[in-house]
């Protein structure tokens, strides 16, 4: 059975090459099962296709968030169970996010191992937008710990890393580490196992960054946050990121990063800069007690912690404050993270997963499609 989505404005399409394209109308997306079958003129939709009218709204690739900690009052670092991941799946689908890595902050070995077990066992029960676990820590630099609990930060050992990956049986997809403090054998092992190794909460120098970025570390976690800042006599880590251009995430709320600096990062990194929400939820127990302050979350001592962004708000801020086109903002929320994670997603083109976000001119969500099925 063919399903035809029609009457929309397509935020297109052949974005793998990074080519900017206009927003297209008068076409239809044909779905067969979970995959996009073809993009055709609306006039040639097969007569026997099931038609879904999208009422002239934008149709974009489903959003992908590679760093989010919890939702709806449940934080993975505290409520370490399958119910939390289900809550996140449900809430994020209602926000247009069709793929995400639930993320755990630096924690005890026991909590991290329980998170990995949950990530492994939940795969068989998932709705479908859960894609695997992101461990942010505990292998960070305590000098740049930010909101992470210092009691649990430590150097990685190869034996422990092997144990965690074996325990996860493929559930662990991404790890944020401070590379300057880790043994090369640990970094090489993670890379060779296909884990996305991201440099974050790092105090690396310019020279250290030049030595490990893309050699082999392919990513950087939330640029500007929890890293040494630029200085004209001591350039630090950030210029190395700009020169090496790894895939780099940013929290685009104007609070974690001023939009002036966000625009600078976009000019320097181009199609390697992508959005994450870094979103948390209000909690009142355990080592991570986030307090909602209207436009941000902080720890009880006032330390800035996670954001209250959605991926659609990231796109809106990209257009309004990064001063990029709507097409480019959508790519930062879908195409680029999909490329980093090597997913068959993030592009509306034949052969890709049929995951879509539908929204209007006011950035209000109007629908989510996951694996070819309309969710809302």
**Are 323 and 194 in the same domain?**
yes
**Are 91 and 44 in the same domain?**
no
**pLDDT for res 286:** 83
* Dist. CA 105–CA 261, nearest whole Å: 25
**Are 53 and 130 in the same domain?**
no
For 82, counting Cβ atoms within 10 Å of its Cβ (0-12 exposed, 13-18 middle, 19+ buried), the class is middle
**Are 82 and 45 in the same domain?**
no
- DSSP structural state of residue 176: E
- DSSP structural state of residue 24: B
**Are 327 and 352 in the same domain?**
no
**pLDDT for res 16:** 43
* Dist. CA 324–CA 268, nearest whole Å: 13
In angstroms, the Cα distances linking 161 to 109, 147, 148, 360 are 11, 23, 20, 45
Inter-helix orientation angle 311-320/326-333, to 10°: 150
Over the Cα atoms of the chain, what is R_g? Answer: 20
Domain of residue 301: give its range: 63-338
Strand (E) or helix (H) holding 84: helix 82-93
**Are 208 and 148 in the same domain?**
yes
Given the residues 278, 355, 360, 361, the one annotated as active site? 278
**Are 245 and 370 in the same domain?**
no
* Cα dihedral 180, 254, 72, 64 in deg (nearest 10): -70
**pLDDT for res 20:** 52
Tell me the pTM: 0.96
**Are 108 and 246 in the same domain?**
yes
**Are 322 and 353 in the same domain?**
no
Strand partners, 220: 199, 248
Strand (E) or helix (H) holding 172: strand 172-177
> Number of folded domains in the chain?
2
* Dist. CA 105–CA 58, nearest whole Å: 35
* Dist. CA 71–CA 343, nearest whole Å: 24
Q: What is the CATH number of the domain that holds 15?
A: 2.30.40.10
Which strands sit side by side in the sheet containing 273-275, from one edge to the other? 63-68, 97-104, 133-136, 172-177, 196-199, 219-220, 247-250, 273-275
Going residue by residue through the chain (376 aa), what tens digit of pLDDT does each one get?
Answer: 899 999 999 996 454 444 556 688 899 999 999 999 999 999 999 999 999 999 999 999 999 999 999 999 999 999 999 999 999 999 999 999 999 999 999 999 999 999 999 999 999 999 999 999 999 999 999 999 988 899 999 999 999 999 999 999 999 999 999 999 999 999 999 999 999 999 999 999 999 999 999 999 999 999 999 999 999 999 999 999 999 999 999 999 999 999 999 999 999 999 999 999 999 999 888 888 989 988 989 988 888 899 999 999 999 999 999 999 999 999 999 999 999 999 999 999 999 999 999 999 999 999 999 999 999 9
**Are 245 and 329 in the same domain?**
yes
**Are 24 and 149 in the same domain?**
no
188 classed as catalytic: no
């Amino acid at each position: 059975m063919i399903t035809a989505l029609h009457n929309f404005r397509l935020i297109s399409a052949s974005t793998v090459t990074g080519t900017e394209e206009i927003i297209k109308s008068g076409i239809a997306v044909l779905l067969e099962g979970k995959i996009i079958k073809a993009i055709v003129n609306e006039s040639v939709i097969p007569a026997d296709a099931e038609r879904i009218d999208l009422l002239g709204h934008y149709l974009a690739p489903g959003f992908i968030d590679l760093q989010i900690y919890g939702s709806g009052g449940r934080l993975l670092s505290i409520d370490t169970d399958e119910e939390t991941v289900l809550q996140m799946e449900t809430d994020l689908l209602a926000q247009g996010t069709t793929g995400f890595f639930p993320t755990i902050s630096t924690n005890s070995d026991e909590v991290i191992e329980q998170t990995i077990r949950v990530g492994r066992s939940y795969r068989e029960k998932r709705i479908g937008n859960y894609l695997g676990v992101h461990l942010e820590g505990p292998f960070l630099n305590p000098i740049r710990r930010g909101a992470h609990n210092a009691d649990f930060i430590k150097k990685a050992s190869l034996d422990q890393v092997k144990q965690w990956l074996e325990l996860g049986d493929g559930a662990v997809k991404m790890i944020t580490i401070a590379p300057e403090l880790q043994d090369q054998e640990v970094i090489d092992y993670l890379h060779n196992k296909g884990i996305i190794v991201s440099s974050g909460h790092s105090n690396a120098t310019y020279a250290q960054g030049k030595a490990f970025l893309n050699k082999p570390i392919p990513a950087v976690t939330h640029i500007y946050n929890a890293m040494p800042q630029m200085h004209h006599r001591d350039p630090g880590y950030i210029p190395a990121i700009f020169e090496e251009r790894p895939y780099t995430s940013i929290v685009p709320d104007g609070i974690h990063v001023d939009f002036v600096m966000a625009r600078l990062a976009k000019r320097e990194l181009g199609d390697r800069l992508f959005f994450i929400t870094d979103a948390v939820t209000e909690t009142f127990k355990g080592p991570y007690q986030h307090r909602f302050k209207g436009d941000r979350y902080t720890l009880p001592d006032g330390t800035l912690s996670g954001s209250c962004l959605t991926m659609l708000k990231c796109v809106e801020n990209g257009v309004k404050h990064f001063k990029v086109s709507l097409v480019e903002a959508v790519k930062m929320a879908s195409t680029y993270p999909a490329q980093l994670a090597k997913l068959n997603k993030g592009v509306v083109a034949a052969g890709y997963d049929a995951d879509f976000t539908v929204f209007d001119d006011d950035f209000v969500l109007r629908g989510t499609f996951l694996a070819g099925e309309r969710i809302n």
